[in-house]
Amino acid sequence: LAGLPPKAVERARQVLAELERGEQGEKRTAFVDDLPLFSAVARRAETHSRESEPDHALRDALAALDPDSLSPRDALEALYRLTALARLS
C-alpha cells in the first residue's frame, strides 16, 4: 500500500479484521454503515429499487431503439418521445 499514510493502512486493517470476523446483528450493521463506501452502495441500491413506472418506461423505450436503423426523421420523433417520457419521471 505504497504512498498511503500509516494511519490509513492501520484503519484499513481494523476494518478488514472486523469484516472478516463476520459479526452478526446490529453491531455489524452499525459498523458497516459507518463506512462511507458501503453506505453509498446501500443508498444507491435503495434508490434503484424505488424506481418509478415512468423510469421503467423510459428505459424500455431506450432499449427498444435501434439507432443504426433510424432515419433522421425517425430519430427526431424518438427524441421527442423520450423527452416526453423523461418529463414524466
The residue among 54, 77, 53 whose CA lies nearest residue 65 is 77
Taken in order 41, 42, 46, 47, the sign of the CA dihedral is negative
Q: Where are the domains of the chain?
A: 6-49, 53-88
The pLDDT assigned to 78 comes to 94
**What is the pTM for the complete model shown?**
0.41
Contact in structure between 85 and 54 (CB atoms under 8 Å): yes
The pLDDT assigned to 2 comes to 72
Chain segment 8-57, per-residue pLDDT in tens? 888 788 878 877 877 655 555 556 556 665 544 455 555 555 556 667 88
